[in-house]
Amino acid sequence: MKIVVCVKQVPEVTNVQVDPKTGTLIREGVKSILNPFCEYALDHAVRIKNSVPDVSITVVTMGPPQAKDVLIRSLELGADEGILITDRKFAGADTWATSLTLAEAIRTVVPDYELVLVGKQAIDGDTAQVGPEIAEILGLPQITYGVEVALTSTRRQVRVTQEVEKGYEVIEASLPALVTCSKGEVVRRAPSFKDVINARNKRIRVVSANDLHLPEEQLGLQGSYTQVVKVFPPPAKKSNLLLQNLEAADAAKEIFGFLKEKRFVE
Protein backbone atom coordinates (compact mmCIF):
# COMPACT_ATOMS: atom_id res chain seq x y z
CA MET A 1 0.00 0.00 0.00
CA LYS A 2 1.07 3.54 -0.62
CA ILE A 3 1.25 6.17 2.06
CA VAL A 4 1.62 9.76 0.99
CA VAL A 5 3.24 12.16 3.45
CA CYS A 6 2.97 15.86 2.68
CA VAL A 7 5.93 17.81 4.03
CA LYS A 8 6.91 21.46 4.15
CA GLN A 9 10.20 23.27 4.32
CA VAL A 10 10.12 25.98 6.95
CA PRO A 11 12.61 28.45 8.35
CA GLU A 12 13.87 27.49 11.78
CA VAL A 13 11.54 30.07 13.25
CA THR A 14 13.06 30.24 16.68
CA ASN A 15 15.78 32.26 14.99
CA VAL A 16 13.60 34.50 12.89
CA GLN A 17 13.87 38.14 13.87
CA VAL A 18 12.05 41.11 12.50
CA ASP A 19 13.98 44.16 11.38
CA PRO A 20 12.51 46.85 13.61
CA LYS A 21 13.08 49.50 10.92
CA THR A 22 11.56 47.78 7.90
CA GLY A 23 9.20 45.33 9.57
CA THR A 24 10.48 42.54 7.34
CA LEU A 25 11.97 39.23 8.34
CA ILE A 26 15.72 39.02 8.71
CA ARG A 27 16.48 35.83 6.83
CA GLU A 28 20.25 36.07 7.02
CA GLY A 29 21.74 33.07 8.73
CA VAL A 30 18.30 31.45 9.17
CA LYS A 31 18.37 27.81 8.13
CA SER A 32 15.53 25.90 6.57
CA ILE A 33 14.33 22.67 8.15
CA LEU A 34 11.69 20.00 7.72
CA ASN A 35 8.64 21.24 9.61
CA PRO A 36 8.65 19.30 12.91
CA PHE A 37 5.01 18.26 12.62
CA CYS A 38 5.69 16.95 9.10
CA GLU A 39 8.55 14.96 10.58
CA TYR A 40 6.07 13.47 13.05
CA ALA A 41 3.76 12.51 10.17
CA LEU A 42 6.68 10.84 8.42
CA ASP A 43 7.59 9.17 11.68
CA HIS A 44 4.14 7.55 11.86
CA ALA A 45 4.42 6.45 8.24
CA VAL A 46 7.78 4.83 8.93
CA ARG A 47 6.38 3.05 11.96
CA ILE A 48 3.51 1.65 9.87
CA LYS A 49 6.00 0.60 7.23
CA ASN A 50 8.09 -1.18 9.84
CA SER A 51 5.09 -3.02 11.27
CA VAL A 52 3.26 -4.28 8.18
CA PRO A 53 4.62 -5.61 4.88
CA ASP A 54 4.38 -4.00 1.45
CA VAL A 55 4.15 -0.38 2.47
CA SER A 56 5.86 2.32 0.49
CA ILE A 57 6.08 5.96 1.48
CA THR A 58 5.92 8.83 -0.97
CA VAL A 59 6.77 12.27 0.35
CA VAL A 60 5.32 15.25 -1.42
CA THR A 61 6.30 18.87 -1.06
CA MET A 62 5.41 22.07 -2.82
CA GLY A 63 7.87 24.90 -2.84
CA PRO A 64 10.84 26.47 -4.56
CA PRO A 65 13.49 24.13 -6.04
CA GLN A 66 15.49 24.17 -2.79
CA ALA A 67 12.51 22.53 -1.04
CA LYS A 68 14.09 19.38 -2.44
CA ASP A 69 16.21 19.42 0.72
CA VAL A 70 13.25 18.37 2.87
CA LEU A 71 12.49 15.55 0.46
CA ILE A 72 16.04 14.30 0.80
CA ARG A 73 15.82 14.60 4.57
CA SER A 74 12.58 12.57 4.44
CA LEU A 75 14.20 9.96 2.20
CA GLU A 76 17.02 9.66 4.75
CA LEU A 77 14.45 9.12 7.49
CA GLY A 78 12.75 6.27 5.66
CA ALA A 79 10.58 7.50 2.81
CA ASP A 80 10.89 5.63 -0.51
CA GLU A 81 10.37 8.32 -3.10
CA GLY A 82 9.88 12.05 -3.30
CA ILE A 83 7.74 14.37 -5.36
CA LEU A 84 8.77 17.99 -5.71
CA ILE A 85 5.95 20.22 -6.90
CA THR A 86 7.67 23.31 -8.10
CA ASP A 87 6.88 26.01 -10.60
CA ARG A 88 6.99 29.77 -10.55
CA LYS A 89 3.27 29.63 -11.24
CA PHE A 90 2.67 28.18 -7.77
CA ALA A 91 4.26 31.14 -6.02
CA GLY A 92 2.16 33.19 -3.63
CA ALA A 93 -0.36 30.42 -3.00
CA ASP A 94 -2.56 30.77 0.09
CA THR A 95 -3.74 27.68 1.95
CA TRP A 96 -6.53 27.05 -0.53
CA ALA A 97 -4.35 27.23 -3.65
CA THR A 98 -1.67 25.18 -1.89
CA SER A 99 -4.15 22.51 -0.90
CA LEU A 100 -5.64 22.39 -4.39
CA THR A 101 -2.23 21.98 -5.99
CA LEU A 102 -1.07 19.34 -3.51
CA ALA A 103 -4.34 17.40 -3.82
CA GLU A 104 -4.21 17.51 -7.62
CA ALA A 105 -0.59 16.36 -7.61
CA ILE A 106 -1.38 13.47 -5.28
CA ARG A 107 -4.32 12.50 -7.48
CA THR A 108 -2.20 12.66 -10.62
CA VAL A 109 1.12 11.21 -9.51
CA VAL A 110 0.12 8.77 -6.75
CA PRO A 111 -3.41 7.76 -7.80
CA ASP A 112 -3.22 4.52 -5.84
CA TYR A 113 -2.56 6.15 -2.44
CA GLU A 114 -4.49 4.77 0.52
CA LEU A 115 -3.39 6.96 3.38
CA VAL A 116 -2.33 10.60 3.44
CA LEU A 117 -0.41 11.83 6.48
CA VAL A 118 0.35 15.48 7.10
CA GLY A 119 1.65 17.52 10.04
CA LYS A 120 -1.05 19.24 12.03
CA GLN A 121 0.41 22.62 11.18
CA ALA A 122 3.57 24.26 9.90
CA ILE A 123 5.60 26.28 12.37
CA ASP A 124 5.89 29.24 10.02
CA GLY A 125 2.27 29.73 8.96
CA ASP A 126 0.57 27.81 11.79
CA THR A 127 -2.74 27.72 9.91
CA ALA A 128 -3.46 23.98 10.33
CA GLN A 129 -5.67 24.36 7.27
CA VAL A 130 -3.87 22.57 4.48
CA GLY A 131 -4.53 19.07 5.86
CA PRO A 132 -8.31 19.38 6.15
CA GLU A 133 -8.49 21.25 2.82
CA ILE A 134 -6.61 18.49 1.00
CA ALA A 135 -8.94 15.95 2.62
CA GLU A 136 -11.95 17.89 1.39
CA ILE A 137 -10.64 18.28 -2.13
CA LEU A 138 -9.75 14.60 -2.35
CA GLY A 139 -13.06 13.69 -0.71
CA LEU A 140 -11.35 11.83 2.13
CA PRO A 141 -12.43 11.42 5.72
CA GLN A 142 -10.04 13.23 8.03
CA ILE A 143 -8.75 12.75 11.53
CA THR A 144 -6.80 15.67 13.01
CA TYR A 145 -4.33 15.85 15.92
CA GLY A 146 -3.23 12.22 15.66
CA VAL A 147 -0.61 10.98 18.12
CA GLU A 148 -0.78 7.28 17.26
CA VAL A 149 -1.57 6.04 13.78
CA ALA A 150 -2.04 2.38 12.90
CA LEU A 151 -3.85 0.21 10.40
CA THR A 152 -6.56 -2.16 11.61
CA SER A 153 -5.91 -5.86 11.15
CA THR A 154 -7.82 -5.94 7.86
CA ARG A 155 -5.73 -2.98 6.64
CA ARG A 156 -8.94 -1.39 5.42
CA GLN A 157 -9.18 1.22 8.14
CA VAL A 158 -6.85 3.55 9.88
CA ARG A 159 -7.07 3.78 13.66
CA VAL A 160 -5.88 7.04 15.15
CA THR A 161 -5.46 8.18 18.71
CA GLN A 162 -6.50 11.79 18.56
CA GLU A 163 -5.72 14.50 21.05
CA VAL A 164 -8.92 16.15 22.21
CA GLU A 165 -9.43 18.75 24.88
CA LYS A 166 -10.46 16.21 27.49
CA GLY A 167 -7.79 13.64 26.69
CA TYR A 168 -7.77 11.20 23.83
CA GLU A 169 -10.28 9.60 21.50
CA VAL A 170 -9.50 6.63 19.33
CA ILE A 171 -11.08 7.11 15.95
CA GLU A 172 -11.34 4.88 12.92
CA ALA A 173 -11.97 5.77 9.33
CA SER A 174 -12.02 3.66 6.20
CA LEU A 175 -9.18 4.04 3.78
CA PRO A 176 -8.39 6.08 1.87
CA ALA A 177 -8.22 8.70 4.59
CA LEU A 178 -6.14 11.66 5.72
CA VAL A 179 -4.62 12.09 9.18
CA THR A 180 -2.92 15.20 10.56
CA CYS A 181 -0.25 14.39 13.11
CA SER A 182 0.61 16.32 16.22
CA LYS A 183 3.31 14.23 17.84
CA GLY A 184 5.87 11.60 16.93
CA GLU A 185 8.80 10.01 18.73
CA VAL A 186 9.90 11.81 21.87
CA VAL A 187 13.36 12.14 20.36
CA ARG A 188 13.93 12.83 16.69
CA ARG A 189 15.26 9.93 14.67
CA ALA A 190 18.84 9.94 13.47
CA PRO A 191 19.45 8.27 10.12
CA SER A 192 22.60 6.24 9.63
CA PHE A 193 25.27 7.63 7.32
CA LYS A 194 24.36 4.78 4.98
CA ASP A 195 20.77 6.10 4.95
CA VAL A 196 22.11 9.57 4.19
CA ILE A 197 24.09 8.31 1.22
CA ASN A 198 21.34 6.03 -0.04
CA ALA A 199 18.71 8.74 0.14
CA ARG A 200 20.53 10.48 -2.66
CA ASN A 201 19.95 7.53 -4.93
CA LYS A 202 16.22 7.40 -4.35
CA ARG A 203 13.86 8.78 -6.94
CA ILE A 204 12.60 12.36 -6.78
CA ARG A 205 10.02 13.28 -9.38
CA VAL A 206 9.53 16.91 -10.27
CA VAL A 207 6.00 18.07 -11.00
CA SER A 208 5.35 21.40 -12.69
CA ALA A 209 2.15 23.27 -13.48
CA ASN A 210 1.94 21.60 -16.89
CA ASP A 211 1.71 18.18 -15.28
CA LEU A 212 -1.45 19.09 -13.39
CA HIS A 213 -4.95 19.34 -14.78
CA LEU A 214 -5.62 22.73 -13.30
CA PRO A 215 -6.33 25.96 -15.11
CA GLU A 216 -3.68 28.58 -14.53
CA GLU A 217 -6.04 30.95 -12.78
CA GLN A 218 -6.37 28.43 -9.96
CA LEU A 219 -2.66 28.39 -9.22
CA GLY A 220 -0.46 30.43 -6.92
CA LEU A 221 -1.32 34.01 -6.12
CA GLN A 222 -3.95 34.13 -8.83
CA GLY A 223 -5.75 31.13 -7.44
CA SER A 224 -5.66 32.41 -3.86
CA TYR A 225 -8.75 33.71 -2.15
CA THR A 226 -6.93 35.57 0.56
CA GLN A 227 -4.46 38.39 0.08
CA VAL A 228 -1.89 39.68 2.50
CA VAL A 229 -2.20 43.46 2.51
CA LYS A 230 0.20 44.40 5.28
CA VAL A 231 2.99 42.84 7.30
CA PHE A 232 4.27 44.47 10.47
CA PRO A 233 6.15 43.66 13.66
CA PRO A 234 4.11 42.64 16.69
CA PRO A 235 3.23 45.39 19.16
CA ALA A 236 5.96 46.33 21.60
CA LYS A 237 6.12 44.34 24.79
CA LYS A 238 5.32 45.87 28.13
CA SER A 239 8.03 47.28 30.35
CA ASN A 240 9.14 45.03 33.14
CA LEU A 241 11.18 44.45 36.23
CA LEU A 242 14.04 41.92 36.22
CA LEU A 243 15.63 40.80 39.47
CA GLN A 244 19.04 39.12 39.36
CA ASN A 245 21.60 37.67 41.76
CA LEU A 246 19.09 36.78 44.46
CA GLU A 247 19.28 33.81 46.77
CA ALA A 248 16.31 31.48 46.26
CA ALA A 249 14.70 32.54 49.55
CA ASP A 250 14.97 36.23 48.66
CA ALA A 251 13.61 35.58 45.20
CA ALA A 252 10.61 33.79 46.72
CA LYS A 253 10.09 36.77 49.06
CA GLU A 254 10.14 39.21 46.15
CA ILE A 255 7.58 37.19 44.24
CA PHE A 256 5.44 36.81 47.33
CA GLY A 257 5.48 40.58 47.84
CA PHE A 258 4.51 41.11 44.23
CA LEU A 259 1.62 38.65 44.50
CA LYS A 260 0.40 40.45 47.61
CA GLU A 261 0.65 43.82 45.98
CA LYS A 262 -1.42 42.54 43.06
CA ARG A 263 -3.81 40.88 45.50
CA PHE A 264 -3.32 37.33 44.31
CA VAL A 265 -2.65 36.41 47.90
CA GLU A 266 -4.62 38.10 50.67
Partner 1 sequence: MLNIDHEKCTRCKVCIRNCPFGALSLVGGSLHVNELCTLCGACVNVCRFDALSIERKKASPEELARYKGVFVWAEQDEETSPRKPRKVVLELLGKGRELADKLGEELVAVVLAGPGEVDTEVYGENGADKVIVCRHELLDTYSTDGFTNVMCAVITSKKPAVVLYGATPHGRDFAPRVAARLHLGLTADCTGLEINADGQLVQTRPAFGGNIMASIITPFNRPQTSTVRPNVFPVPGKYIGSSIVEEIFPVTLNRAAIRTRVVERRYLDKESGVSIEDARVIVAGGRGCQKAANLELLQELAQKLGGVMAGSRAIVEQGWIPHTRQVGQSGTTVGPELYIAAGISGAIQHVVGMSSSKTVIAINKDPEAAIFKTADLGVVGDAVEIIPLLAAMIEEKASS
Partner 2 sequence: MHEIYSKTAPEVDISQVKHIEGFETIQAEYSAYLSDESKLSAKPFDYLFFPKTEVELAAVVKFLNQQKVPFTVAGARTGLVGGCVPQEGALISLEYLDKILDVYRDETSGEWRIKAQTSVSLKNLDSMLRVKQIPTLEQSSDEAIRRHYSEFREDPDQYFYPPDPTEMSASLGGSVVTNASGARTYRFGPTRAWVRGMRVFLANGEYLDIPRGKYFSSPGGQFIVYNSKGGATPITVPDYPQPRTKSTTGFYAAPQMDLIDLFIGSEGVLGIVTSVDVALLRREDKVSIIQFMDSDEQAVTLADALRSEGRIQLDFLEFYSGNALDLLRRLQREEPSTVGMPPIPEDAQAALFIEMSFDPHQEDLDFSILEAVINSCGGSLERSWAGYESRELDRFKVFRHMVPETINGIIAERKKQYPGIHKLGTDMAVPDGHMREMWDLYRSRCEELQLEWCAFGHIGNNHIHVNILPRNLEELEKGMQLYEIFAQRAVELGGSVSAEHGIGKIKAKFLKYMFTSEQIGQMQRVKKALDPQGLLNPNDIFSVEVTA
Near partner 2 in 13-42, by CB under 8 A: 28-29, 31, 33
Number of residues written out for the chain? 266
Residues 6+ apart with CB under 8 A from 23: 231, 232, 233
The nearest distance, CB 93 to partner 1, in angstroms, is: 12
Of 61 and 162, CB closest to partner 2: 61
Determine the Cα angle at 109 with ends 32 and 175, to 5°.
95
Return the residues of window 94-133 that contact partner 1 according to CB under 8 A: 94-96, 99, 120-121, 123-133
Give the torsion sign (CA, 92, 85, 11, 127). positive
Q: Choose the contact partner of 262 out of partner 2, partner 1, none; CB within 5 to 8 A by kind.
A: partner 1
Q: Is 174 helix (H, G, I), strand (E, B) or coil?
A: strand
Compute the distance between CA of residue 226 and CA of residue 217 in angstroms, rounded to an integer: 14
Nearest Cα neighbor of 95 from 220, 231, 7, 230 is 220
Q: Choose the contact partner of 114 out of partner 1, partner 2, none; CB within 5 to 8 A by kind.
A: none
> Is residue 202 a contact residue for partner 2 (CB under 8 A)?
no
Nearest Cα neighbor of 189 from 30, 50, 81, 85 is 50
Q: Choose the contact partner of 11 out of partner 1, partner 2, none; CB within 5 to 8 A by kind.
A: partner 1
Choices 126-134, 143-151, 186-194, 214-222; region in contact with partner 2 by CB under 8 A: 186-194
The nearest distance, CB 206 to partner 1, in angstroms, is: 26
Binding residues for partner 2, rule: CB under 8 A, are 12, 28-29, 31, 33, 69, 72-73, 185-197, 200
